[in-house]
Amino acid sequence: MLLSHWRRHPMQLATLLVGLIAATALWSGVQALNQQARASYDRAAATFGGARTAMLVGRDRAAVSQDLFVDLRRAGWPVSPMLEGRVPIGGRTIRLLGIEPVTLPVEASATAEVGKGGVQAFITPPGQTLISPETLADLGLMEGATPAIGDALKLPPLRVQPQLVQGVLVVDIGIAQTLLKMPGQISRLLIGKANGPRAPLEQVTGNQLRQVEPDAETDLERLTDSFHLNLTAFGLLSFVVGLFIVNSAIGLGFEQRLPMLRTLRACGVSARLLNTVLLVELVSIAVVAGLIGLVCGYFIAASLLPDVAASLRGLYGATIPGQLTPKPEWWLAGLAISVLGALAAATSSLLKAVRLPLLAAAQPYAWQQAQSRWLTLQGALAAIVLTGAAGVLLLGDSLIAGFVVLAALLIGAALALPVILGLVLALGERSTRRPLTKWFWADSRLQLSGLSLALMALLLALAVNVGVGTMVESFSRTFTGWLDGRLAAEIYLNASSEQQAVEIKRWLKPRPEVKAVLPGSRTDVQLSGLPVEVLGFADHATYRQQWPLLEATSDAWDRVRSGDAAFISEQLSRRLKLGVGDRLEVPALSGNWQLQIVGIYADYGNPKGQLGVNIDALVNRFPAISQTRMGLRVQPADVPALIAAIQQQFGLDGRNLADQATVKAESLRIFNRTFAVTAALNAFTLGVAGVALLTSLLTLSNSRLPQLAPLWAIGITRRRLAGIELLKTLSVALITALLALPLGLAVAWCLIAVVNVKAFGWRLPFNVFPLQLIQLLGVAMLASLLAALLPIVKLLRMQPAKLVKVFADER
C-alpha cells in the first residue's frame, strides 16, 4: 500500500533515486581515486625496501662499505644490501636500484617477483633489468633492449615486471655497483623480520650505521595528503548537495502520504509497524540507488583517473597506474554511505512519522512567526560557526586548520543565506504598496523555507566554483608569467654526452643567429632530510631580467656570481623556514658548501625544493656533474632553421631538443590537466546543485496550487502567474549568486593564502577576475532558469479544470 505512492508519483521516485545515485556516485568515485592512489603509494613504499621496511643506513645517509653486510650477516642480522643511484637514459635520469635477491626480506615483496623469472637469470651475466610497463613506455623502449647509460656502459636486457613501481629500474647489486661506479659500496641494508640471536649493532659496525624504523606513512602520502583531502572535500560537498535532493524528495513523499499514514494508524496499524515499514522501504531504495551509484562512481573515477594521475605526477612526482581496481571494501563502503545518507536526509521525516498525531492539528503560529524563529536560530548558528572559522584562521597553523576554516566558512555562509534572503525579501515587501509586487516579495518569503536547502546547495556550489576558479585563474596567470621568466631561452637542448655538448658549443660559436649560449646543470642533494635540487645557471642578462624573484637583496645577482650565495625556491624557504639573509650548508664532495640566501624565487608545481646557484660554482663543488644541458638565445624567426641544423648535425631528437614554444605548450598542457579534475568536480557539483534546485521547485510546484489558484480566480492569467513565478525563482537565485561571489572570493583567498601555502609551499598573488565572475553568474542564472522552466511550463500548460479543483468542495 505504501509503495503504491511511488507508482503514482514516478517522478518523485526518480528524483529520490537521482539524488541518492548522484550523492553515492560522486562520493564513491572520489574514494575510488583516493584508494587507487593510496594503494599505489603503498606499493611504492613496500617494493624493494621502501619506507615500509626497517633498514640500516650510514650516519649521514652516505654509501657504506659492502663489508658491513658480511659482518652483520655473520653476527646474525637478517640484512640484505641495496645500492641506489640514478642513471641517464635518453636525456633523462632514472632511479636505479641494485638488490641482492637471495637475502632480500620476503616482506620487501620482491623475491617472489624476481623468482618468477628465475633468480639465476637475474644475477648471472648479462643479468636482467626489471622495469614497469609504464616506465618502458615512457622511455620508448622495447622489452629485451639494452639501453646505453653513457661511458660505454649498458643496462642488462630490460624485463617487464607489471607490479613494479614506475620510474625505477632494478638490477642485481653487483651490476648496479658497476653501472654506478661504486664498487664494494652499498646505500643501505634492509632488515628482514626473521628473529634470532644477533649481536648489538654497535658491536658489529661501531657507529657507522643507524637503524631506521619503518614509517606508517610515506613521504609521498604526507605530500599528497592535501591533494586527497581536497578531492575528499569535493566528494563530500557533492554528497551533501546530492542529499539535499534526497531530503526534498523524501520530504515531499512524506507530506503527501501523511493522510494515508493517519488513515492506516486510525485503522489500527501500530506506529512501530508503520515506522519499521517506512524504514525498510527507505533502506531498500537506498541499497538499489547505492548499487547504481557505485557503478556510476566507478565510471566517474575511471574517467577522472588519467587527470588525477597527471595531477599527482605534476604536483608531487607520484605515479599511479592507469587501471582502476576498486577493492571489495569500496563497494561495501559505497552501499553503507548510500544507506546512511538516505537515513540522514530522511531523519526529519522519519521523526515526524514517529511523532505523528492521529488527528491533524491547527497551526499554532503564523508562517511568519515560525519562519522568524527558524531564521533567528539559524542566524545564531551561522554566527557561531563563522566566529569559529575566524578563530581557527587566527590560531590554526596547519593544512587541516586551513580546511576547517574553509568548511566553517562555507557552512556558516550556507546557514546565514536564508537569514539574509529573508531580510532582503522583507525589505522588498516593505518598500512597495503595489499589490502584485507586494505579493511577489511576500510569497517569495513564504517559499523560503521550502527552497532554502536548494539555495544553500546553489550557494555552496557557486562559491566553491568561484573560489577554485579564481585560484586556478590566479595560478594560470602567475604560471604563464612565471614560465616566461623560467623559459627565457628560445631553444633548449640536452646533449647525449659531455663531449657532444662541447662539440655543439664549438659549432654554435661562429653562428651569427645565436646571441648567447646559457649552460645549465643540476644535481640532487639532501637538506634536513628533504630532497633538494641544486640548479646552476650562468650569470647572464637573460636571467637577471627575467628570473621570477619574489624577494631579493639589491646585490643578489653579484653575490650569486661570486659563488657564496644562492637563490632559494619559495617552497623550500617555507619548509626550511629560511629567508633572505639566512645561511645554509649544502653537502658537497669537497665538504659542506656555505651559502647565504640572497633571494627567494617562485618555482610553482615543483615537488622538490630547489636552490639556484652560479653554474661555475656548482661545477667546482660537484666536478662529476653532467654538463650537457644548455639554452640558446636566438631571434624567434631563426629558431626553426637552427633546430633543423642542429638535428641534422648532431642527430638530437625531439626529447633532447625543443624550442621554447613547445616546452611552454607542454608545461601548460600538464598544468591544465592538473586542474582538469577540479574543473570536472566543479561542474559535477554545480550540476547536482542545479538538480537540487529543480527538485525543490518541482516539490514546491506540487504544493503551490492552493496558493496560486486564488490569484488566478481573482483575475491574474496563468501566463502572468507563470512569469511572476519565474521571476521569483530567478530573483532568489540571483540574490544567492550575488552572495556567492564574495563568499567564493573568500574561499579563493583561503585556498591561496592558507591551504596552498600549507599544502604546496607556495603562495600565489590574489587576483579577482571580474569577467570570470560575470560568466559564472550567467551560468548560475542559466542553471536556475533551466531548473525553474519545468515547473513554469507545467503551470502554463495546466488545464483550468485542475486549478478549479482547488475550489471544488468535492476534492
DSSP collapsed to 3 states, 293-339: HHHHHHHHHHHHHHHHHHHHHHHHCCCCCCCCCCCHHHHHHHHHHHH
Contact status: 13 vs another protein (CB under 8 A): no
**Residue from 159, 228, 445, 522 that binds another protein (CB under 8 A)?**
445
Residues 552-581 that bind another protein (CB under 8 A): none
Contact status: 797 vs another protein (CB under 8 A): no
Task: Find out whether 553 and 567 touch, Cβ atoms under 8 Å.
Answer: no
Contact status: 259 vs another protein (CB under 8 A): no
Stretch that binds another protein, among 36-44, 469-477, 653-661, 800-808 (CB under 8 A): 800-808
Instruction: State the Cα–Cα distance between residues 378 and 489, nearest whole angstrom.
Output: 58
CB of 8 to another protein, least distance (A): 16
Contact status: 366 vs another protein (CB under 8 A): yes
**Residue from 143, 367, 376, 589 that binds another protein (CB under 8 A)?**
367
Nearer Cβ to another protein (635/703): 703
Nearer Cβ to another protein (60/810): 810
CB of 237 to another protein, least distance (A): 33
Q: Which of 338, 247, 332, 328 is nearest to 290 (CA)?
A: 338
Q: Is the dihedral of CA 771, 777, 781, 783 positive or negative?
A: positive
Contact status: 432 vs another protein (CB under 8 A): no
The dihedral formed by the CA atoms of 87, 90, 91 and 93, expressed in degrees to the nearest 10:
-30
Q: Write the DSSP string, 421-449.
A: HHHHHHHHHHT---HHHHHHHHHHHHHHH
Q: Going residue by residue from 173 to 212, which x/- string records binding to another protein, judged by CB under 8 A?
A: ----------------------------------------
| Number of residues binding to another protein, judged by CB under 8 A | 36
Nearer Cβ to another protein (238/371): 371
Nearer Cβ to another protein (624/808): 808
**Residue from 710, 742, 765, 778 that binds another protein (CB under 8 A)?**
710
DSSP collapsed to 3 states, 442-507: HHHHHHHHHHHHHHHHHHHHHHHHHHHHHHHHHHHHHHHHHHHHHCCCCEEEECCCHHHHHHHHHH
**Residue from 100, 307, 443, 473 that binds another protein (CB under 8 A)?**
443
**Residue from 124, 163, 325, 368 that binds another protein (CB under 8 A)?**
368
Contact status: 93 vs another protein (CB under 8 A): no
Q: Which of 422, 433, 413 is nearest to 367 (CA)?
A: 422
Stretch that binds another protein, among 361-369, 524-532, 608-616, 661-669 (CB under 8 A): 361-369
Residues 487-546 that bind another protein (CB under 8 A): none
The grid coordinates of residue 338 equal 548510500
**Residue from 718, 730, 745, 753 that binds another protein (CB under 8 A)?**
718
Contact status: 359 vs another protein (CB under 8 A): no
Q: Is the dihedral of CA 467, 473, 479, 482 positive or negative?
A: negative
Instruction: State the Cα–Cα distance between residues 179 and 174, nearest whole angstrom.
Output: 9
CB of 416 to another protein, least distance (A): 23
Instruction: State the Cα–Cα distance between residues 294 and 337, nearest whole angstrom.
Output: 10
**Residue from 715, 770, 771, 797 that binds another protein (CB under 8 A)?**
715
Instruction: State the Cα–Cα distance between residues 284 and 325, nearest whole angstrom.
Output: 27
Nearer Cβ to another protein (60/809): 809
Nearer Cβ to another protein (200/715): 715
Contact status: 796 vs another protein (CB under 8 A): no
Contact status: 73 vs another protein (CB under 8 A): no
Residue 706 has phi, psi (to 5 degrees) of -60, -20
Q: Which of 315, 427, 390 is nearest to 678 (CA)?
A: 315
CB of 433 to another protein, least distance (A): 8
CB of 294 to another protein, least distance (A): 43
CA within 13 Å, CB half, 618: 24
Contact status: 801 vs another protein (CB under 8 A): yes
Contact status: 431 vs another protein (CB under 8 A): no
Nearer Cβ to another protein (141/446): 446
Contact status: 361 vs another protein (CB under 8 A): no
Q: Going residue by residue from 304 to 343, which x/- string records binding to another protein, judged by CB under 8 A?
A: ----------------------------------------
The grid coordinates of residue 695 equal 527538485
CB of 369 to another protein, least distance (A): 9
Contact status: 714 vs another protein (CB under 8 A): yes
Stretch that binds another protein, among 621-629, 707-715, 733-741, 765-773 (CB under 8 A): 707-715
Contact status: 727 vs another protein (CB under 8 A): no
Nearer Cβ to another protein (655/719): 719
Task: Find out whether 314 and 605 touch, Cβ atoms under 8 Å.
Answer: yes
Q: Going residue by residue from 664 to 703, which x/- string records binding to another protein, judged by CB under 8 A?
A: ----------------------------------------
Q: Which of 412, 460, 466 is nearest to 744 (CA)?
A: 466
CB of 795 to another protein, least distance (A): 13
Instruction: State the Cα–Cα distance between residues 276 and 288, nearest whole angstrom.
Output: 18
Instruction: State the Cα–Cα distance between residues 194 and 78, nearest whole angstrom.
Output: 6
Contact status: 428 vs another protein (CB under 8 A): no
Total residue length of the chain: 811
Instruction: State the Cα–Cα distance between residues 198 and 78, nearest whole angstrom.
Output: 9
**DSSP β-bridge partners for residue 594:** 585
Pairing type for strands 583-588 and 565-569 reads: unpaired
Q: Residue written as cell 499514514? A: 261
Q: Going residue by residue from 750 to 789, which x/- string records binding to another protein, judged by CB under 8 A?
A: ----------------------------------------
**DSSP β-bridge partners for residue 188:** 57, 82
**Residue from 39, 442, 530, 790 that binds another protein (CB under 8 A)?**
442
CB of 703 to another protein, least distance (A): 11
Contact status: 804 vs another protein (CB under 8 A): yes
Nearer Cβ to another protein (8/509): 8
For 130, residues 6+ apart whose C-beta sits below 8 A from its C-beta are: 113, 114, 122, 159, 161, 164, 169, 170, 171
Biggest distance spanned by C-alpha atoms of the chain: 104
Pairing type for strands 565-569 and 609-614 reads: antiparallel
Contact status: 418 vs another protein (CB under 8 A): no
Instruction: State the Cα–Cα distance between residues 368 and 378, nearest whole angstrom.
Output: 15
| Contacts to another protein by CB under 8 A | 363, 365-368, 434-436, 438-439, 442-443, 445-446, 706-707, 709-719, 800-801, 803-804, 806-810
